[in-house]
Chain A
Amino acid sequence: MPESKTASAKAKRPASRAQSRSQSGAQRGAQRARAGAGLAQITAALRALSEGRYDTRLDPSKFGDAALRGLATEVNAAAERSHADLADAAARVDAVTQGVDEAIEAMVRLVVKGDLTGELRLGISDAALTPLVAGVGQVMETLKSFVHEIREAALQLSTSSAEVLAAATQNETSTTQQASAIHETTATMEELKGASHQIAENAQMVASIAEQTLASGRQGEGSIKSFMESMEKVRKNAVEVDDAISKLSRRVERIGTVVEVIDEIADRSDLLALNAALEGAKAGEAGRGFSIVAAEMRRLAENVMESTKEIKNLITEIREATHAAKQASDGNKRMAGEGEKLGSAAMGSVTGILSGIQETSDAARVIHLATQQQRTATEQVVQSMSEIEEVTRQAQAGSRQATGAAAELAKLAERLASLIQRFRVE
């Protein structure tokens, strides 16, 4: 052993140096040197033992001093004992390690097989491994419990994932239908927007027409007023004409009376002339001149009667014309009266119509404003619907992803259930 040799060498060198210093004292010195060397050897041996070199041994025979020899022997005994204890400890460690390996191997074997129905049977007799065995048993029980819980959880997870998948699928379907409905609604709202625009334009046109109609109605009202004034004038004129006709008729009647008198006179003259001519003719040649005068008188009377006849014809025509004028005047008065009545009725109607047109115009204006608001609101709704459609499209995409994730989750749940089925716990 090098250390021992070194220690011996180190022990020899002081002794040599002590022999050289003093012969007398050399004896004691030699003794002390030998004792010191022996102690140094023992110390070195103890240091080696303390450093774990349990095979370090001293040769007691080389110690001259009995005490040192005994000490060396005890050191050797302690070293032996320590060595033996270490061997025992190593053996126990090996046994425990083997037990642990066996336990782990058994546990791993059970886990790999997935059979957790039985109990872990170990051939370990070491009492020190009893807690380990108990712990492994507890681990197995815990594992069983875990497997059981995981199986139930996997089953629930599978069921839940199926439900989630179904719900996600339903959600995706609903989202798709919702997206379709929203798309249709958006399209409808676009059409409604166009219709609202058209309605707004039409309402504006109606309002404009109502305004024009109102203006025309007011013009009509003014025309009816003018018409009624004209009718009043016509009626007054007709009354004046009627009066004039009455005067004319009276004058004509007067003329007729005069003409009748003239005619009567002419007739009498004619008659007188005839009788004169008759008497003249009866008187023969003596009455010739008388007859000539009578004939002339008769001619004049006939002329007068012809004239009166013409005058009578004229009077008759004037009477007929006057009668016709009277009838026309009466008709004018009647028509003027009826015109005034009709004008009044028309005025009432136009007033009502104007009121209606005014209300229509107001309503058309309100409708115009309402349709403008409706158009604006519709445009906002269309904008909102577009945003909703975009959001729905995103939701649809998210729903598809959720469905895919749910399907993947269902597959994972099935796989987890399949994996956990490998562990039999009952």
Chain B
Amino acid sequence: MSEPTSEILTFQVGTRIYATEVYDVRRIGHGTEAGLTHVSRSCLGQPLASGRGLVVTGTDEMEQALDVDRVLGIQSVPGSSIQPLPAFAAQCLGSAAVVGLVVLDESPTPLIDIPTLIREQLEISAAPREKRIPDA
């Protein structure tokens, strides 16, 4: 009986590589696509070129996009490759968007909950300045 797999989308912000589950991404658009709420700056860093936008569906069914430099691809990984974030580490992080680590090519890659990340970032942007959480 084969091991269940997960479909993982990998993307790059700056020089760092992150991963997310394909089901969190509605579609992939341009980084400069109009009619979307773009989040460029986040705890993942700031893209250099904003070539792509990972579009998700917001709470009000409006599309929101996390600007990234590149979408590296989509690959199937074994379920065992995805590990939840340790509780201590989760407590240490200021964001709930980092949900675990996925091992890609023997390298642990942060697994990002993009809708959560966008929501947090939009909340931070809407909050008064003194209450903003510093960048990761």
Q: What residues of chain A have their CB less than 8 Å away from a CB belonging to chain B?
A: 271, 274-275, 277-278, 280-282, 291, 295, 298
Chain B residue numbers with a CB within 8 Å of A298 are 73
B30 engages A278 (CB within 8 Å): no
Bound state CA distance, A298 and B9, in angstroms?
A: 14
The 6 closest A-B pairs by CB, nearest first: A281-B7, A281-B22, A274-B28, A277-B74, A281-B74, A275-B28
Bound state CA distance, A277 and B71, in angstroms?
A: 11
* Chain B interface residue count, Cβ-Cβ cutoff 8 angstroms: 14
A sample of 22 inter-chain contacts (CB < 8 A) reads: A271-B30, A271-B52, A274-B28, A274-B52, A274-B71, A274-B74, A277-B74, A278-B25, A278-B27, A278-B28, A278-B74, A280-B74, A281-B7, A281-B22, A281-B74, A281-B76, A282-B7, A282-B22, A282-B23, A295-B73, A295-B74, A298-B73
A271 engages B74 (CB within 8 Å): no
Q: List the A residue with the shortest CB-CB distance to B28.
A: A274
Q: List the A residue with the shortest CB-CB distance to B33.
A: A271
Contacting A at CB under 8 A, from B31-73, are 52, 71, 73
- Shortest distance between the CB of A134 and any CB in chain B (Å): 171
Q: Across the A-B interface, how many residue pairs have beta carbons closer than 8 Å?
A: 31
Bound state CA distance, A277 and B27, in angstroms?
A: 10
B74 engages A291 (CB within 8 Å): yes
- Taking chain B's interface residues, is the majority helix, strand, or loop, or is none over half, making it mixed? strand
Contacting A at CB under 8 A, from B56-97, are 71, 73-74, 76
Chain B residue numbers with a CB within 8 Å of A291 are 74
Bound state CA distance, A271 and B52, in angstroms?
A: 8
- Shortest distance between the CB of A293 and any CB in chain B (Å): 13
B23 engages A275 (CB within 8 Å): no
- Shortest distance between the CB of A163 and any CB in chain B (Å): 129
Bound state CA distance, A277 and B28, in angstroms?
A: 10
Chain A residue numbers with a CB within 8 Å of B108 are none
Bound state CA distance, A281 and B28, in angstroms?
A: 13
B29 interfacial contact with A, CB 8 Å = yes
Chain A residue numbers with a CB within 8 Å of B7 are 281-282
A278 engages B9 (CB within 8 Å): yes
Chain A residue numbers with a CB within 8 Å of B27 are 275, 278
